[in-house]
Amino acid sequence: MKARTLLILCFCALQNLAFTQKSKTAGMPVKAVDHTIPLSPDKWIFQDGKVEFVDYKGKKSMKIAKNAGQVVLKDLVFKDGTIEFDVEPILPEFAQSIYFHRKDEKEQEIVYLRFGTIANKLRNDAIQYTPYFDGINMWDMYPQYQGPAPIKVGEWNHMKLVISGHQMRVYMNHWPKPVLEIPKLEGNFKEGSIAFEGAAYLTDLKIKPNEAEGLPSQEGVDLSNHEVNYLRKWATSPPMDLPLGNEPYLLTQPKPESFSDSIVAERAGFINLTRKFGGNQSRKMVWLKTKIIANEPVKTRLQLGFSDEVWVFVNNQTVFVDKNLYRQEGMRKYPQGRMSKDNSSFGISLKQGENELMIAVANDFYGWGIVARLESIEGINSIDEVSSILKVPK
């Protein structure tokens, strides 16, 4: 009995001690965490003579010169959270960029402002997000990830990137709504360093890890998933050289055993050849092949987005040839030479039974790939019949 009484007294004493300690700390102010990143030379990696740390308009600032390359923040690996800063362009610089999830200059993600759009507030390419694959800036493959931006001249522009898992929202100049909403970050890496590039003054840089303002981490909805019209599975040949002046035709198509690999579409039906094969310093070509099975003879249209050149064959007949060449203004397809299913549309005739659709795709400029969509699938039984095409080496 005495032991039980002693145990109860000890328990009460411990409870009283805990309450006393809590009461002592309850009224104490919580020290706010300072997320400011110092703009001093010891915190950054940069080219000598290309970056200055100065007082500008009463603020400690980092002045980045034109052609300075990437200015990389040392000793920080960023995954999720908020990146905020103020930037003022040094005109007539074309663009100012922030890189994140940066493994190196070949694998990273970027948001950048195009200062050349300042004169027109309706320009749909004032701000853009894109990933890099194998050192290739994929700006021409993701026209949906850009929009207008309220860029100010001769003033600070406030930027805020909120990143959570697969998603990102970008705010500018304290607008209540984001100027960019990215439902799925496309980079190959989900964490990495942070860097800046482009002639500008930068100040008030704050990085808040894991503070993502309630932004969900799972990728956003891809509404194209509900459409069966997209051709999402293709057998592929290996990339091959296609010197300038040469054109593929039926007699130069690869032998059946060359189609030993396959590729599956990403969001919005995108067949991403850059992610699979890397970029091209010289003109290269890949052949893609799939099958469509029709219950009856069918006439439909194929919407085809592509970069840079395509040759289309249906049942051993050439049905379409076209080019989407950004470097030749007269050869740029809508929108502005970027890849989109709106690049082209043409009629195709399918016979009853199996139909072979084959596309040669060539590229020597930035990203490459296609998106293919049948306008109507009336009379069609199945598409993407790739398994019978693949010839797996023994």
> What's the chain's length in residues?
394
Tell me the average pLDDT across 67-85: 97
The sign one gets for the Cα dihedral 95, 99, 104, 108 is: negative
Give the pLDDT score at 20. Answer: 47
Tell me the average pLDDT across 344-372: 97
> pLDDT, tens digit, for every residue of 140-164?
999 999 999 999 888 999 999 999 9
Tell me: pLDDT of 3 over 60. no
- Helices (H) and strands (E) counted in the chain, each on its own, are 2, 27
Maximum distance among all Cα pairs of the chain, rounded to whole angstroms: 102
> pLDDT, tens digit, for every residue of 97-127?
999 999 999 999 999 999 876 656 778 889 9
Cβ contacts of 35 within 8 Å, gap of 6 or more: 206, 207, 208
The sign one gets for the Cα dihedral 180, 185, 186, 187 is: positive
Cβ contacts of 346 within 8 Å, gap of 6 or more: 301, 302, 304, 312, 319, 320
Separation in Å, CA 174 to CA 1, 160, 379: 69, 9, 52
Give the pLDDT score at 153. Answer: 85
* Residue 179 pLDDT grade (very low, low, confident, very high; cuts 50, 70, 90): very high
* Residue 31 pLDDT grade (very low, low, confident, very high; cuts 50, 70, 90): low
> pLDDT, tens digit, for every residue of 36-70?
999 999 999 999 999 999 999 999 999 999 999 99
Give the pLDDT score at 117. Answer: 66
Fold of 41-209: Jelly Rolls (2.60.120)
Give the pLDDT score at 6. Answer: 45
Give the pLDDT score at 22. Answer: 46
| Stated pTM of the model | 0.87
- CATH code of the domain made up of 223-382: 2.60.120
Numbered ranges of CATH 2.60.120.560 in the chain: 41-209
Tell me: pLDDT of 12 over 60. no
Rounded CA separation 197/107 (Å): 16
Tell me: pLDDT of 24 over 50. no
Which residues are registered as beta bridge partners of 136? 133
Q: What secondary structure letter does DSSP report for 7?
A: H
Q: How far is CA 271 from the centre of its chain?
A: 14
Tell me the average pLDDT across 250-260: 91
| Token pair recorded at residue 292 | 């469509």
Mean pLDDT of the chain: 90
Give the pLDDT score at 60. Answer: 97
Tell me: pLDDT of 18 over 60. no
Q: What is the dihedral of CA 151, 154, 160, 166, to 10 degrees?
A: 50
276: left (phi over 0), alpha (psi -120 to 50) or beta: alpha
* Residue 131 pLDDT grade (very low, low, confident, very high; cuts 50, 70, 90): very high
Tell me the average pLDDT across 172-186: 96
Instruction: Single out the residue of 284, 287, 308 nearest to residue 368, CA to CA.
Output: 308
Instruction: Single out the residue of 333, 243, 255 nearest to residue 285, CA to CA.
Output: 243
Helix, strand, coil percentages for the chain (3-state, nearest 5): 15, 40, 45
The sign one gets for the Cα dihedral 272, 273, 276, 279 is: negative
Backbone angles phi, psi at 343, to 5 degrees: -60, -45
